[in-house]
């Protein structure tokens, strides 16, 4: 039997190129579907669509997205690798439940990193940026008054990430996104025991005012206080749920809103600070 000629495909001009093109196109389409599923699920985690402990049903999610199961599975596994989701012994996928210790760790990182992004954003903020933030905050307030909690979460995420995009620091922006993916599901607890229609003294107003003045240090402090005040509601809910002692220790313990320093030195975000009666929590 004669050996097959390795160059036989060359007798059909362009045929090999066509095969490669079809293969590459298929790979690109598959990657686009995976990326689409990943982006949608990631955003849903960030905006509190999923609840802590919720089981994610692969076929249901694929049907909602209108795509096959494979790219959805790949997207979910990527989120597992990022610690945004967890699996059990049966390989089922769940939204993780944060304990108080991990919540505090993420909160402290958010205070530092989001404060830094806000500080940078204040140096670059334009009047158009401030107008856009005012509109996002008005949208948030409208949804609060209407009791539409899902849309409040969406508007709150849009408000914060508008600020962080203004900083023009894509690496920092990506790190902050990763923290929101982990903490987003638990932020629904922000609304437990809160009067949704009480928005006159909202923390976002102080952030907007500082950005309008292009005041980096005050903007940083305003964002930090927003996060710290909001974290109180979530942490108290976690302690009630999990029966954790309020005295759980970390390198950074339960912290209070930050009072602006009168020192001329650059403001720093402390791990513990004096209490004051500040703005109402964000979202």
Question: Which domains, ranges and CATH numbers included, belong to the chain?
Answer: 8-94 (1.10.10.10), 100-242 (1.20.120.530)
Per-residue pLDDT band for 7 (boundaries 50, 70, 90) equals very low
| Per-residue tokens: 55 | 């089981």
**In whole numbers, what is the pLDDT of the chain averaged over residues?**
80
Alpha-carbon distance of 105 to 101, in angstroms, equals 6
pLDDT at residue 264 in the model? 45
176 or 3, higher pLDDT: 176
For the chain, report the end-to-end CA distance as a whole number of angstroms. Answer: 76
Beta bridge partners of 153: none
Q: How far is CA 17 from CA 5, 8, 9, 25, 39, in A?
A: 18, 14, 10, 12, 32
pLDDT at residue 89 in the model? 83
What pLDDT, in 10s, does the model give residues 132-149?
999 999 999 999 989 888
Q: Directed axis angle between helix 170-183 and helix 100-124, to 10°?
A: 150
Residue in 141, 147, 107 with CA at minimum distance from that of residue 232: 107
Per-residue pLDDT band for 191 (boundaries 50, 70, 90) equals confident
When pLDDT is averaged across residues 95-101 and rounded to a whole number, the result is 91
Alpha-carbon distance of 47 to 172, in angstroms, equals 19
What pLDDT, in 10s, does the model give residues 31-40?
789 999 999 9
What pLDDT, in 10s, does the model give residues 216-274?
999 999 999 999 988 888 888 888 887 744 444 444 444 555 555 544 444 444 443 33
pLDDT at residue 247 in the model? 45
What pLDDT, in 10s, does the model give residues 154-173?
999 999 999 999 999 999 99
Per-residue pLDDT band for 197 (boundaries 50, 70, 90) equals confident
């Amino acid at each position: 039997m004669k050996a097959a000629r390795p160059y036989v495909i060359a007798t059909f001009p362009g045929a090999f190129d066509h095969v490669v093109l079809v293969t590459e196109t298929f790979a690109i389409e598959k990657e686009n579907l995976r990326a689409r599923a990943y982006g949608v699920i990631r955003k849903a985690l960030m905006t509190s669509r999923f609840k802590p402990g919720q089981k994610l049903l692969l076929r249901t999610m694929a049907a909602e997205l209108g795509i096959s199961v494979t790219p959805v599975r790949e997207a979910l596994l990527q989120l597992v690798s990022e610690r945004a989701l967890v699996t059990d012994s049966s390989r089922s996928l769940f939204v993780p439940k944060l304990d108080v210790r991990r919540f505090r760790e993420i909160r402290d990182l958010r205070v530092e990193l989001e404060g830094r992004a806000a500080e940078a954003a204040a140096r670059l903020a334009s009047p158009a940026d401030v107008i856009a933030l005012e509109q996002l905050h008005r949208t948030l307030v409208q949804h609060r008054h209407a009791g539409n909690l899902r849309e409040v979460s969406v508007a709150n995420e849009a408000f914060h990430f508008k600020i962080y995009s203004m900083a023009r620091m894509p690496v920092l922006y990506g790190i902050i996104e990763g923290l929101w993916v982990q903490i987003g599901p638990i932020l629904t607890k922000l609304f437990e025991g809160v009067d949704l229609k009480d928005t006159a003294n909202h923390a976002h107003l102080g952030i907007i005012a500082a950005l309008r003045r292009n005041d980096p240090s005050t903007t940083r402090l305003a964002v930090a206080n927003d996060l710290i005040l909001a974290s109180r509601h979530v942490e108290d809910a976690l302690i009630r749920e999990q029966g954790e002692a309020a005295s759980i220790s970390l390198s950074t313990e339960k912290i209070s809103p930050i009072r602006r320093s009168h020192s001329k030195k650059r403001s720093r975000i402390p791990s513990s600070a004096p209490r004051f009666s500040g703005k109402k929590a964000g979202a």
